[in-house]
């Protein structure tokens, strides 16, 4: 029972974050040099004085600041994030249409990175100071220093252009008109390289954290106790240390959720993945600020949700956390 109340409390804590992003968004537009209306109009050729004036009244930019603010917040609470003139569609509609592929990409990359990273970190810690540890550590260091977009391009050169194993871009092969399982396989083939390009950095990160965390646990008193009970090293490792060592990795994963979204923007552009990253890139090219701000807001909400999930997982794994 206490647990659920705790989740409710965490949910309550998440609200100020969402609200904060709205405030930040509101002031970011006004941070731009020059008139907000002309910024909103974008660097489109259509920014005639009349059009700018139209925007000004439409967005209430001629009204006093507090009034604008209240109007902005009220609209945002109805998920009304404004209108993209470039795309001639409401911002929220544009974003929600593209949300699915991004979430799919992120979850795939995140799950792979977390599970494989934890496993590799465990392996490296078990085989500490052997060649296996050395190989994993060096590979981790290299992956940790590789920019994802470049890795993506290299993957395309090797696996698509030379070997022809995976398609270079897109979400699926629409022309083939696959259905059912065939479609799943098709999407998975398209997903493989972007997920790898996005996830490898985090895989390296989690491996590092897990290895360090495992090594930290080896010195703990409770490990000695388990040994004094006559428990085998293997059981001590899996029965006692693993869960204790995994907690910091999970915390780190929560903190990194925001960066994962940022990374997916770049990766999506490399692979032409039809998610909000590509949408953001297009908005960037046309300087469609309103759309960018909307994407920023929705992504941040996504991060808040991921953080909540991580929080819930942590509470289930760690009995010490009670409100």
Q: What DSSP state is assigned to residue 237?
A: I
Binding mask of the shown chain, residues 207 to 226, with x at each position contacting another protein by CB under 8 A: -----x--x----xxx-xxx
Q: Which is nearer to another protein, 138 or 185 (CB)?
A: 138
Q: Which of 110, 290, 117 minimizes the C-alpha distance to 205?
A: 117
Nearest Cα neighbor of 38 from 23, 24, 54 is 54
Report residue 105 CA to chain centroid gap: 9
| 100 contributes a contact to another protein by CB under 8 A | no
Per CB under 8 A, the segment of 61-69, 90-98, 179-187, 253-261 that binds another protein is 253-261
For the bound state, the minimum distance from the C-beta of residue 184 to another protein, rounded and expressed in Å, comes to 29
Q: Residue 241 phi/psi, 5° resolution?
A: -75, -35
> Alpha carbon of 68 to those of 51, 82, 112: distances in Å?
20, 13, 44
Q: Which stretch binds another protein (CB under 8 A): 45-53, 91-99, 172-180, 257-265?
A: 257-265
Q: Which of residues 45, 180, 230, 234 is near another protein by CB under 8 A?
A: 230
CB-wise, 182 or 222, nearer to another protein? Answer: 222
HSE, CB side, 13 Å, CA atoms: give it for residue 103: 14
Q: What is the torsion angle, in degrees rounded to the nearest 10, for the CA atoms of residue 216, residue 219, residue 221 and residue 223?
A: 90
Touching another protein, residues 24-63 (CB under 8 A)? 24, 28-29, 31-33, 39
| Contact between 240 and another protein per CB under 8 A | yes
277-306 mask for another protein (x: CB under 8 A)?
Answer: ---xx--xx-x-x--xx-xx--xx--xx--
Using CB under 8 A, which of the segments 86-94, 109-117, 179-187, 263-271 binds another protein?
A: 263-271
- Cβ(134)–Cβ(120) below 8 Å: no
Q: To the nearest whole angstrom, how small is the minimum distance from the Cβ of residue 188 to another protein?
A: 24
Q: 104 to 163, contacts with another protein by CB under 8 A?
A: 141-142, 144-150, 153-154, 156-157, 161
User: What element of type H or E holds 84?
Assistant: strand 83-84
Smaller CB separation from another protein, 173 or 282? 282
CB of 171 to another protein, least distance (A): 19
Pick 96 or 316: Cβ nearer another protein: 316
Specify which residues 84 forms β-bridges with: 89
CB contact set of 3 (below 8 Å; sequence gap of 6+): 315
59/82 Cα distance (integer angstroms)? 9
Instruction: Please report how close the Cβ of residue 280 comes to another protein at its closest, in angstroms.
Output: 7
C-alpha radius of gyration, the chain, whole number? 24
Size of site (CB under 8 A) for another protein: 78
Least distance to another protein, CB of residue 93, Å: 20
Q: Write out the two tokens for 205.
A: 């990160």
Q: Of these, 54, 73, 227, 238, which contacts another protein (CB under 8 A)?
A: 227
Three-state DSSP state, 319: coil
By CB under 8 A, tell whether 97 contacts another protein. Answer: no
Q: Which residues contact 129 (CB under 8 A, 6 or more apart)?
A: none
Kindly state whether residue 309 participates in binding another protein, applying the rule CB under 8 A. Answer: no
Q: Does 244 bind another protein (CB under 8 A)?
A: yes
């Amino acid at each position: 029972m206490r647990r659920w109340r705790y989740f409710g409390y965490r949910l309550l804590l998440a609200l100020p974050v969402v609200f904060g992003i709205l405030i930040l968004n509101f002031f970011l537009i006004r941070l731009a040099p020059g008139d907000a209306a002309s910024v909103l109009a974008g660097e489109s050729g259509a920014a005639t004085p009349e059009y700018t004036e139209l925007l000004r009244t439409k967005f209430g930019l001629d009204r006093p600041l507090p009034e604008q603010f209240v109007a902005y917040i009220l609209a945002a609470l109805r998920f009304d994030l404004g209108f993209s003139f470039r795309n001639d569609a409401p911002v929220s509609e544009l974003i929600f249409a593209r949300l699915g592929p991004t979430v799919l990409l992120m979850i795939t990359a995140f799950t792979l990175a977390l599970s494989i990273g934890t496993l590799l970190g465990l392996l490296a810690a078990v085989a500490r100071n052997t060649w296996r540890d050395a190989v994993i550590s060096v590979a981790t260091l290299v992956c940790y220093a590789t920019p994802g977009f470049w890795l993506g391009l290299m993957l395309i050169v090797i696996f698509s252009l030379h070997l022809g194993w995976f398609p270079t871009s897109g979400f699926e092969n629409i022309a083939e008109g696959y259905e059912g399982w065939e479609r799943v396989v098709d999407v998975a083939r398209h997903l493989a390289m972007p997920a790898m390009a996005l996830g490898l950095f985090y895989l390296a990160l989690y491996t590092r954290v897990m290895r360090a965390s495992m090594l930290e646990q080896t010195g703990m008193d409770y490990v000695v106790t388990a040994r004094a009970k006559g428990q085998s090293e293997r059981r001590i490792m899996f029965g006692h240390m693993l869960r204790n060592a995994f907690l910091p990795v999970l915390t780190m994963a929560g903190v990194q959720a925001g960066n994962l979204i940022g990374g997916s923007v770049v990766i999506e552009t490399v692979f032409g993945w039809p998610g909000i990253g590509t949408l953001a890139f297009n908005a960037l090219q046309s300087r469609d600020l309103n759309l960018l701000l909307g994407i920023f807001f929705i992504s941040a909400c996504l991060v808040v949700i991921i953080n909540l999930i991580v929080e819930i997982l942590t509470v289930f794994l760690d009995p010490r956390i009670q409100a």
